[in-house]
Amino acid sequence: MSCKIRYTDVAFAYPDGTQALRGVSFELGHGEHVALLGPNGAGKSTIMLLSNGILMPQQGTIEVGDDKLSKETLVPIRQRVGLVFQDPDDQLFMTSVFDDVAFGLLNQGLAAEEVRVRVHEALQAVKLEQIAHKAPQDLSFGQRKRAALATILAMRPDFLILDEPSSNLDPRGRRDMLELLREIDHTILLATHDLDLVWELCPRSIIIDEGLIVADGPTEELLRDEHLLEEHGLELPNALRYS
């Protein structure tokens, strides 16, 4: 089974006429950690929502492994592509962390023992196994971010699509998230404005602006190009600015 995501000449416009993507093409290979960068409104969120069929391309194709995204392939693609939203409260709605992580597994009809094992593995991966019994609203924001990630990890997807995983975290929570993502061996596409996180975590970066990919290459090369960054609403990471 192929472990790639491929966007080929993908375009998408919203009902209000906003042209979010204008012929976007790129590929994610197995095990890659890739950053998706750009100013607000560049098209990052649209790329993410297209990845598992929340939105459907109006032009071009999206392939996940050997499957081309369509209404007929939504189920197998959503099993392979896990989307983690910026706000964890969009994914946590049960009475306990355990129940939230188990929810998708139970909907797949897995046996109770298999559910228990997967929930334990996912919570252990995000270092929350000791508070599985707690209600999500009783967790810190950083813990809720990790719990939301656990709900996806438990599904054992091949690909993780993450929206601003470090946003609104305090320094300790940000370090915890960085170390967690560094340990994950999934293929990751990570949309963020946190260029220091990108510098440490993602060997490759894609820059998008006004619905077009304007750069795709080694993070170290792109994030050292101050003119490129300024032209597309980005700034040098602190790691370079103060070095």
Q: What is the CATH number of the domain that holds 37?
A: 3.40.50.300
- Does 110 fall in a domain? no
Q: What is the pLDDT of residues 126-152, one digit of tens each?
A: 999 999 999 999 999 999 999 999 999
pLDDT value at residue 238: 85
- Could you report the per-residue pLDDT of 36-69, keeping only the tens digit for each? 999 999 999 999 999 999 999 999 999 999 999 9
Task: Provide the domain count of the chain.
Answer: 1
HSE-CB for 73 with a 13 A CA cutoff = 17
Q: Is the dihedral of CA 157, 161, 182, 103 positive or negative?
A: negative
Vertex 153 angle, CA 152 and 154, to 5°: 90
pLDDT at residue 239, as a whole number: 80
> Is residue 124 classed as helix, strand or coil in its secondary structure?
helix
Question: Taking the CA atoms of the chain, what radius of gyration do you get in angstroms?
Answer: 18
The pLDDT of residue 36 is: 98
Contact 67, 73 (CB under 8 A): yes
The amino acid at residue 242 is: Y
191: closest CA among 13, 36, 26, 33? 36
The answer to whether residue 145 is domain-embedded is: no
- pLDDT (0 to 100) of residue 83: 95
Mean pLDDT of the chain: 94
56 located within any domain? yes
Q: How far apart are the first and last CA of the chain?
A: 44
Sheet holding 59-64, edge to edge: 19-28, 5-13, 59-64, 67-68
Residue 32 within any structural domain of the chain:
yes
Let me know if residue 108 belongs to a domain.
Answer: no
pLDDT band for 3, please (50, 70, 90 cuts): confident
Q: Is residue 100 part of a domain?
A: no
51 assigned to some structural domain: yes
pLDDT 10s digits, 161-210: 999 999 999 999 999 999 999 988 889 999 999 999 999 999 999 999 99
Which range marks the domain in which residue 47 is found? 5-93+159-241
Position 232 in a domain: yes
* Residue 243: predicted pLDDT: 60
